[in-house]
Chain A
Amino acid sequence: MLRLLPGFLVIVALFGGNARAASDLSAAEIARLSNMVRQDCGSCHGLTLKGGLGRPLTADQLAGMDREAVKDIILFGIDETPMPGWLGLLSEPEADWIAGALKTGTIQ
């Protein structure tokens, strides 16, 4: 449903009324996100995140990108590539947590 709205509305709807931050995620949520990154992102990026059809997502490979940019790619994807936007499945704080955990190599 969100997907059908113009981009700015999505951002307002998603971020405007959402006061949660990545640091508010519970241990159970973090475990679920870690499982998702390893198992589902891992279908393209590898269970160990060393790459596959998609590029590696190890901390050293992401060193040149800031956390915000990584989060945006997770939420909105990269045009003309198989990387989809995960906006329909992940919230902004969840994507932000994943971006941070990838950059620090701390996915469980």
Chain B
Amino acid sequence: MIRAGVSLVALVFLCVAAFATELRGTGDLGVVVERASGSVLIVDTSAHKRLTRVEGLGDISHASVVFSRDERYAFVFGRDGGLTKVDLLVARIVKRVVQAGNSIGGAISDDGELIAVSNYEPGGVRVFDAQSLDLVADIPAIHGDTNSGGSALSKVIGLVDVPGRRFVFTLWDAGETWIADFSGGDEPVLTKIGNVGTNPYDALVTANGRHYIAGLFGEDGLSHIDLWRAEPKAERILAGYGRGETRLPVYKMPHLEGWAEADGALFLPAIGRHELLVVDAKTFKEIGRIVVHGQPVFAIARPDGRQIWVNFALPHNDTVQVIDVPTRQIVQTLKPGPAVLHMEFAPRGHEVWLSVRDDNRLAVYDTMTFERVAEIAAQKPSGIFFTARAHRTGL
């Protein structure tokens, strides 16, 4: 009885401490990576406000974030191998593990139980329990002739979640895509798909988890895998899209994002060219090209698919262009400021947030009027991630 009383007092105290004066949901919260200072901002996307800063996340240059199903926790994948679980409501690090030497991103399983991280060093994927961050499985990306002792570990890119407690990822050094199936428990069943191509640099999966597309740095084309096939295999698409022309120096690798699909087509960055490639989302044939301002880094569809927003590599990274999907015309060219690194839409797309790294701020635009509606200070901001991602496949 006394014990119960004490617990109740403790609980009330904790609640007061945690939520200050009011309860709130997390559906309009987001996380902004401050890449140089090892911190993240928690932002309120309705109020256009930064709520607080959480520090101590290590080297989070090139960091990305996924969210728990309840949208309360953010899992931040750092460059230095750090995996950090942040509680958005109390703005605190719950748990942090340094699980590898050099990492590039991660994913959360469809049931929300597993967190997978893709590593450059040691090359492979490590999978953790989302509650405890305890190691569940270690999948070294061994490639080459293992019989003759010639094996090595490959850097892993393009890690995504797909339905059925599965993760899909690709080996940069080996040109293989692996499917790790955890539907049977903590021991993954691996399916290895060869002949993906030379130096796949990033990959995406469509929102339904069906089509996995890898960009190739070492070949003039992309690679497509239909994950719904009984025996998935890699097929080249858009082979020779560069038409044999010498490409421009690539000052920044493009990123392939799950929401590149709009109106039955995929809009993909061409590597080393000032173009977006428009690909039919059923036949995977090229159906058009859009000449843009520079080499695209991200081409992201507004959630309704009516617009594609594009940012660019150096020396054009002060610019963002907007493409109207039905007409495939550029309808807006914005100059948000020096080094626009990332773009994130409000869940239904009425606004977009941009990180303007070298001006130490975020800029929020209305996607209908293209007016800037807010600016928010941030230290060297890079990735912006809103909690609505929790309910999307393959981000």
| Given A39-B339, A89-B314, A89-B315: A50 and B102 interface contact (C-beta under 8 Å) | yes
Smallest CB–CB gap between A85 and chain B, Å? 6
Q: How far is the CA of A82 from the CA of B80 in the complex (A)?
A: 21
| Given A39-B339, A42-B61, A52-B120: A47 and B35 interface contact (C-beta under 8 Å) | yes
The residue of chain B having its C-beta at the shortest distance from the C-beta of A76 within the complex is: B249
Whether A53 contacts B252 by the Cβ 8 Å rule is: no
Interface residue count for B (Cβ, 8 Å)? 29
Any chain A CB within 8 A of the CB of B250? yes
Interface of B is mostly: loop
Name the one of A38, A51, A80, A86 contacting B102, with C-beta atoms under 8 angstroms.
Answer: A51
* Chain A interface extent, by class: 20 to 34
Q: How far is the CA of A71 from the CA of B35 in the complex (A)?
A: 27
Chain B residue contacts of A80, Cβ below 8 A = 218
Name the one of A39, A44, A50, A77 contacting B249, with C-beta atoms under 8 angstroms.
Answer: A77
Chain A residue contacts of B253, Cβ below 8 A = 43-44, 53, 82
Interface mask (A40-65 → B, CB under 8 Å = 1, otherwise 0): 10111011101111000000000000
Smallest CB–CB gap between B356 and chain A, Å? 12
Interface mask (A70-82 → B, CB under 8 Å = 1, otherwise 0): 0000000100101
Interface mask (B197-218 → A, CB under 8 Å = 1, otherwise 0): 0010100000000000000011
Smallest CB–CB gap between A27 and chain B, Å? 17
Whether A52 contacts B217 by the Cβ 8 Å rule is: no
Q: Show 12 residue pairs from A and B whose CB-CB distance is below 8 angstroms, ordered by the A residue.
A: A35-B358, A38-B36, A39-B35, A39-B36, A39-B380, A40-B251, A40-B339, A47-B36, A48-B59, A50-B80, A50-B102, A52-B104
Binding site for A on B (CB under 8 A): 35-36, 59, 61-62, 79-80, 102, 104, 120-121, 155, 157, 172, 199, 201, 217-218, 249-253, 314-315, 339, 357-358, 380
